[in-house]
Chain A
Amino acid sequence: MDGEEKTYAGCEGPDDMYVKLISSGGHEFIVKREYALTSGTIKATLSGPSQFAENKTNEVNFISKVCMCFTCKVRYTNSSTKIPEFPIAPKIALELLMAANFLDC
């Protein structure tokens, strides 16, 4: 998410290490599969029958804050370091709540 050019092992198939999450605005977020599985909904989507197009290409639509949430969860679960503040601007809070509810996270 820092804009650097990076090549990834690939987001082509169900076993790959990375998945690509695309927001409705077309922004692409490439995250480790393990992190994205924090969301019960994404997990179900990615492990479902492979007829579903989503599974083949590992793409799910949503927004960037959810990605940050996944990273925090993986990083700070079972860790003794202090959990930093996770600021949520009031104007996106409702939309983010809907996304969090849908994704069950």
Chain B
Amino acid sequence: MLSPAPEEPLLLAELKPGRPHQFDWKSSCETWSVAFSPDGSWFAWSQGHCIVKLIPWPLEEQFIPKGFEAKSRSSKSDTKGRSSPKEKTLDCGQIVWGLAFSPWPSPPSRKLWARHHPQVPDVSCLILATGLNDGQIKIWEVQTGLLLLNLSGHQDVVRDLSFTPSGSLILVSASRDKTLRIWDLNKHGKQIQVLSGHLQWVYCCSISPDCSMLCSAAGEKSVFLWSMRSYTLIRKLEGHQSSVVSCDFSPDSALLVTASYDTNVIMWDPYTGERLRSLHHTQLDPSMDDSDVHMSSLRSVCFSPEGLYLATVADDRLLRIWALELKAPIAFAPMTNGLCCTFFPHGGVIATGTRDGHVQFWTAPRVLSSLKHLCRKALRSFLTTYQVLALPIPKKMKEFLTYRTF
């Protein structure tokens, strides 16, 4: 079902922030999050020291040579041509932890615009939400770099953010204050719900592509699934042995993956709560003695856009690519101090961020989905597991459709 002979991820480009020498490079320089806009036209790079750079995609030619230093500068005048005139620099004023783009285009919202523009513009607006150290969330307009809104409510670091994929401008935030909050950007960023229940820091949140479910994961090892219609808890997924720090749904909403400091990624059926498999992150070199073993704590996991691969970043200095049906990674790339990863929405590229504020772009396996998988993806985008099991089709076909056959 998969294309044969996948290649190792190759480093396509690396962006490094240029810093004046007086900064202490050891603190607050991490790239906690990276993100592509859903239409693939922008890349957001939280490059540490409170700065987020918005870079048009694809990257300009001058970014491609390795080691090129993309210095942060004002977007106003740039005759040297080292950075694109369309590139935007957002100074958030404090450490940036979470990032999320709204789907594009969003319907223009009168109230959102009223502050900065006397008339509502014709063009709809791409938004970036940034989650900050003291619990604030800043909402920015991408095309202009203007600050649109400040959302207050969280009492501690906003670690992750997620917009509903439908474009309804509902934003979910996950915080170290153990809550998740739902914000309506159509109503001046009004906080419409607080989701309580987690006992420790909430590390991540993710909304299913069909907008029906919200997943959150926290330090107390549990993963929660919430309904996005009633904002109530649907179920708790138990199984991880340590903090769960990253989660992602498959493009057809049929699978959920979660990554933990316990060195495992677990794949779940979000409709039934069943564990489908565990992906163990073990050392490549088993001859290392115990005192030397680097824990393969997971930092990030994400699905590829066609739903056939996963990328993971772990503390053992490896970026791993997994095929959905196999128990061992199909490719590795060396990556030190990795913190986050995400696929380019049209496939072909993976972006990763590191502790020193760098981002890298890697080649991702290029795959032609089989017709069977394309049909499965089309069906599962609107059928729950229980609906599939009720279909008048052979057992083997049900197993295929519910991702039980591996």
Mark A residues whose CB is within 8 Å of B.
Answer: 65-66, 69, 72-73, 76-77, 80, 82-83, 86, 88-90, 93-94, 96-98, 100-101, 103, 105
B346 at the interface (CB under 8 A from A): yes
When the two chains form their complex, are residues A69 and B371 in contact, meaning their CB atoms are under 8 A apart?
yes
Q: Number of residue pairs across A and B with beta carbons under 8 Å?
A: 53
Q: What is the CA–CA distance of A69 and B373 in the complex, to the nearest angstrom? A: 12
**With a CB–CB cut-off of 8 A, which chain A residues contact B348?**
82
CB pairs A–B below 8 angstroms (28 shown): A66-B371, A69-B371, A72-B368, A76-B368, A83-B347, A83-B366, A86-B369, A86-B374, A88-B374, A88-B375, A89-B378, A90-B378, A90-B379, A90-B382, A93-B379, A94-B379, A96-B375, A97-B376, A97-B379, A97-B397, A97-B401, A98-B393, A100-B372, A100-B375, A101-B372, A103-B371, A105-B370, A105-B371
A100 touches B379 (CB 8 A): no
Nearest residue in A to B346 (C-beta to C-beta)?
A82
Please pick, from A76, A82, A89, A96, the residue contacting B371 in the complex, using a CB distance under 8 A.
A96
Give the Cβ gap from A60 to chain B, nearest Cβ, in Å: 15
Bound-state Cα–Cα, A89 to B371, Å: 13
Contact residues in B for A97 (Cβ distance below 8 Å): 372, 375-376, 379, 397, 401
Instruction: Tell me whether chain A's interface is mostly helix, strand or loop, or mixed.
Output: helix
Chain B residue numbers with a CB within 8 Å of A105 are 370-372
Give the CA-CA distance A97 to B366 in the complex, in Å: 23
Q: Are A77 and B379 in contact (CB under 8 A)?
A: no
Give the contacting residue for B368; candidates A73, A89, A100; CB below 8 A.
A73
User: Which residues of B sit under 8 angstroms from A89, Cβ to Cβ?
Assistant: 378
Minimum CB–CB distance for B402 against chain A, Å: 13
> A residues within 8 A CB of B372?
97, 100-101, 105
CB-defined contacts of B378 to chain A, threshold 8 Å: 88-90, 93
Interface on B for A, CB 8 Å cutoff?
Answer: 3, 346-348, 366, 368-372, 374-376, 378-379, 381-382, 391, 393, 397, 400-401
Residues of A with C-beta under 8 A to B391: 94
Smallest beta-carbon distance B39→chain A, Å = 13
Residues of B within 8 A of A88 (CB): 374-375, 378
| Chain B interface helix/strand/loop/mixed | loop
The answer, among A72, A77, A80, A86, for a CB contact under 8 Å with B3, is: A77
Expressed in whole angstroms, the Cα–Cα distance for A36 and B73 within the complex equals 56
Known: A83-B366, A86-B374, A94-B391. 9 other contacts (CB 8 A): A65-B371, A72-B368, A86-B369, A88-B375, A93-B379, A97-B372, A98-B393, A103-B371, A105-B370
Find chain A residues with CB under 8 A from B346 CB: 82
Bound together, the chains give a CA A77 to CA B366 distance in angstroms of 9
Closest partner residue, chain A, to B377 (CB atom): A88
Q: With a 10 A CB-CB cut-off, give which of A72, A82, A88 has the most chain B CB atoms.
A: A88
Contacts of A73 in B (CB 8 A): 368
Interchain CA distance A100-B372 in the complex, whole Å: 6
B3 touches A100 (CB 8 A): no
Closest residue of A by beta carbon distance from B370: A105
User: Shortest distance in angstroms between B386's beta carbon and chain A's nearest beta carbon?
Assistant: 16
B397 touches A101 (CB 8 A): yes
| A94-B347 contact in complex given A77-B3, A100-B372, A101-B372, C-beta closer than 8 Å | no
Q: Give the distance to chain A from B131, nearest Cβ to Cβ, in Å.
A: 32
Q: How far is the CA of A96 from the CA of B401 in the complex (A)?
A: 13
Measured CB to CB, the closest approach of chain B to A65, in angstroms, equals 8
B368 close to A77 (CB less than 8 A): yes
B400 CB contacts on chain A under 8 angstroms:
101
Cα A101 to Cα B379 in complex, Å, equals 14
Q: How far is the CA of A105 from the CA of B346 in the complex (A)?
A: 23
Q: Which residue of B lies closest to A66 (CB)?
A: B371
CB distance from A102 to the nearest CB of B (A): 10
Docked Cα-Cα span, A83 to B304, in Å, equals: 14
3 closest cross-chain pairs (CB), A and B: A97-B375, A100-B371, A88-B378
In the bound assembly, the distance between CA atoms of A85 and B370 in angstroms comes to 13
Chain A residues whose CB sits within 8 angstroms of the CB of B376 once the complex forms: 97
Q: From B347, B348, B374, name the one whose CB has the most chain A CB atoms within 10 angstroms.
A: B374
Q: Give the CA-CA distance A57 to B382 in the complex, in Å.
A: 40
Residues of A within 8 A of B369 (CB): 86
Min CB distance A63 to B, Å, is: 11
Chain B residues, CB < 8 A from A93: 375, 378-379
Least Cβ distance of B114 to chain A in Å? 37
Give the complex CA separation of A94 and B375 in angstroms. 7
Q: How far is the CB of A59 from chain B (nearest CB, A)?
A: 21
Most buried by A among B347, B371, B391, B400: B371
